Structure 1
Amino acid sequence: MKDNITRMAVCPLCGRIYHGAPALSREDNETLICPDCGTRQALQSIGVEPSEQEQIIETIHRHTQE
């Protein structure tokens, strides 16, 4: 039987509380970070500007609301 336990964590990069699966930081490949910071790091690694990163994250949030 699977328990429906939601784990909460604080992202060490942005300080926000998040739930669900964390992302692995691309900075050190050890630190667990929130999904948004993980997305930002991935987009930054391919040269996406910060303003466009925020637009992409907003779009993700709009389409994945629980």
Structure 2
Amino acid sequence: MTKVVNYISEAFEELRSNVTWPEWAEVQRLTIVVAVFSVLFALATWGVDEMFANLLEKFFTWIKA
């Protein structure tokens, strides 16, 4: 158990002393970039899903006829 506590303590010390944290303005800017690309990717995925759904519907309608 001492090893786990020591590991966690050293990890927090590493974060406090050796990590370079970005400025708040950069964090905000990059968060907006990630949000925009997430929405665009979701819309692209939805579009491809709708396209394949329509193609399959037409295919099965064609087979039925």
Same fold (TM over 0.5): no
TM, length-normalised to structure 2: 0.26
Give the number of the structure whose alpha-carbon radius of gyration is greater.
Answer: 2
Higher strand share: 1
Higher helix share: 2
Structure number with greater CO (CA < 8 Å, separation at least 6) is 1
